[in-house]
Amino acid sequence: MNGSERRQKTVEIDIRKDLFGANENAAALNTEIFKKHGIIAIDIMGSVGTGKTQLIEALCDRLREKYRILMLAGDLATTIDADRVASHGVDTVQINTGTACHLDARMVKVALQKVDLADYQVVFIENVGNLICPAGYSLGVDKKIVVVSVTEGPYMVRKHPLTIKHADIIIINKIDLVNALEFDIDALEADIREVDAKMPVLRVSSKTGEGIDKLIEVLHL
């Protein structure tokens, strides 16, 4: 090869490595921030309409006398969820993502900068309603809860095995509707066990409060 010839180069990158790597670094910083302030942080994921907000409301009702709680709400737009939770006597920050269908660690960090973290002991983060990509973005929390509900049909778990795998606890919500919907909740739980035999699975009705005390126990709150 003489000097005038230039071999063509192809650069191959795995974009997930760079993007997720940057997020992992930001998540590690969030973890440090939570640790420094002695805060227990919990990320709550699930599709639109599974009852994530109602679950947080039920938790806040039982825990707000014991802990100073902050709730971060992730949505594309509106402050509907943050306002709902605030009406239960806890402070909230609404993160409007605009177009992003998940929260990432940097969004959470920005939200945490808006408050004085010395004021809080527990942070609940309601992720954007979506069962797919939130699981790919660590936020730096202590525990990840995935909420599925009996109103979403029988295949939610089988169709989203990775999201289930990344969770620390799975909530099957809206169990007050099981009979009305003739929903086979045992089959749904079996699907979860198929993905992870040791996964803690809790049957909850955020509406009636059934299972909420058990969840608090499992969260060591």
Site residues (CB under 5 A) for Zn ion? Answer: 101-102, 133
Beta carbon of residue 94, minimum distance to Mg ion (angstroms, whole number): 11
Q: Which of 202, 204, 190 is nearest to 155 (CA)?
A: 190
Task: Give the one entry of Zn ion, Mg ion, none that residue 43 binds, where binding means its C-beta sits below a cut-off of 5 to 8 angstroms depending on kind.
Answer: none
Burial class (CB in 10 A: 0-12, 13-18, 19+), 31: middle
Q: Is 94 in the site for Mg ion (CB under 5 A)?
A: no
Query: CB of residue 102 vs Zn ion: minimum separation in angstroms?
Result: 3
State which of residues 53, 94, 127, 130 lies at the interface with Mg ion (CB under 5 A).
53
57 sits near Mg ion (criterion: CB under 5 A):
no
Rule CB under 5 A: say whether 81 interacts with Mg ion: yes
As to burial, measured by CB atoms within 10 angstroms (0-12 exposed, 13-18 middle, 19+ buried), residue 48 is: exposed
Q: Which entry of Mg ion, Zn ion, none binds 101, CB below 5 to 8 A by partner kind?
A: Zn ion
User: Which runs of E-coded beta strand occur in the chain?
Assistant: 40-45, 69-75, 91-96, 122-126, 143-149, 169-173, 201-203
Binds 102: which of Zn ion, Mg ion, none (CB < 5-8 Å by kind): Zn ion
Give contact residues for Mg ion (rule: CB under 5 A). 52-53, 81
